[in-house]
Amino acid sequence: MAYPQQPPGQAIPDYEFIKTTLSALQQLNRDALEAMNNKDYEKALDAFTRSIPLGLQCYVPEQFGKLLSNRAFVYYSLGDYRRSLYDANQASLHYPGYFKNYLRQGFVYKKLNEPVNAVASFINAVNFCRQNSDLCSHGVAACYVELIKVLCEVEDIFDLDSKIIGAESGVVDAGNLTLKEIILYQLSSDDQCQWKAISYLLIGAVKGADSKLAGSCSDCNCSALSVLKLFTETIDSQKKEWGCKLAIKLLQNGASFQEFEIGRERYSLLR
């Protein structure tokens, strides 16, 4: 069911009712967040579901939107992607200023194999972050990361650059460490690097959507990236398609050749 927004001029409940309801709502929210942190998603779902009627009774758009968005995350974690998407869409109606919700919509669309909608959601997240300077650079970078991880996998789907605010400038600087470098760091910080996405940023769209974001990090310092790790974490077809070109680019941009030389015999990379 849709959750109606509080109509203007509606009678305000008495103070004691609000106090009691708000106290119960806060306790349920704490229980739900604790369960989420413990990955007890069934318990979190129960607590969030019981909190939503209370949230309507003492309606604050931002808080109610966060409740729905958090339950969307729980549904996503339980693999119930349709309910997750419904809650995420409802959350955007109540609190359109919550950028995490756009990310959650994008994650669901990826699971539903709807890349066009996933890209649109991640673009919404990027645009919101670009318009809100109070968000930290790592939050902005996280939005770009999710967008790029889809773009490197799909062919042209629509005019991307006209949809992204400031796309003509590529990925903008952010303080002493550029946003480009933060994005590359986030893509490489997992146990297994997102090499295809890194390739998309460094050497362009070998495969993937044509955008000014493709190749936008071609001038970045790559001394923190490992050519050896690239070759051990990619399969032969990837090496042929873009991996070897990426290795050359990494070396040109500061990655260590000595490390690759030392490790090549151990990993039998050269035959």
Contact partners, residue 37, CB within 8 Å, separation at least 6? none
What does pLDDT average to over the chain? 84
Which pLDDT score is estimated for 154?
85
pLDDT band for position 17 (cuts 50, 70, 90): confident
Which pLDDT score is estimated for 211?
80
Task: Quote the radius of gyration of the chain (alpha carbons, Å).
Answer: 22
* CA dist., res. 131 & res. 28, Å (int): 33
* CA dist., res. 243 & res. 237, Å (int): 9
**CB 260, CB 230: distance < 8 Å:** no
Q: Does residue 266 have a pLDDT over 60?
A: no
Look up tokens 């990379």; give the residue. 269
Render 95-142 in DSSP notation, one character per residue.
Answer: -TT-HHHHHHHHHHHHHTT-HHHHHHHHHHHHHHHHT-TTS-HHHHHH
* CA dist., res. 252 & res. 181, Å (int): 16
Q: Does residue 68 have a pLDDT over 60?
A: yes
Residue 177: HSE in the Cβ half-sphere, 13 Å Cα cutoff: 9
Report the pLDDT averaged over residues 39-68.
Answer: 93
Q: In angstroms, what CA-CA distances link 88 with 52, 56, 65, 68, 125?
A: 14, 17, 9, 7, 13
Q: Does residue 241 have a pLDDT over 50?
A: yes
* CA dist., res. 97 & res. 74, Å (int): 20
* CA dist., res. 32 & res. 47, Å (int): 5
Q: In angstroms, what CA-CA distances link 183 with 32, 107, 189, 216, 238?
A: 31, 18, 10, 11, 22
Query: What pTM was estimated for this model as a whole?
Result: 0.82
Helix/strand/coil for 198: helix
Which pLDDT score is estimated for 128?
87
CATH ID of 14-97, from 3.90.1150.10, 1.25.40.10, 3.40.1170.10, 3.40.50.300: 1.25.40.10
Who has greater pLDDT, 148 or 15? 148
pLDDT in tens, 190-202: 777 999 999 999 9
Which pLDDT score is estimated for 139?
82
> What share of the chain in percent tops pLDDT 90?
53
* CA dist., res. 45 & res. 70, Å (int): 9
Who has greater pLDDT, 10 or 67? 67
- Specify the DSSP class assigned to residue 78: T
Please state the separation of Cα 92 from the chain's center in Å.
Answer: 16
Any idea where the domains of the chain sit in the sequence? 14-97
**What count of other Cβ atoms lies within 10 Å of the Cβ of residue 268?**
8
**What count of other Cβ atoms lies within 10 Å of the Cβ of residue 157?**
15
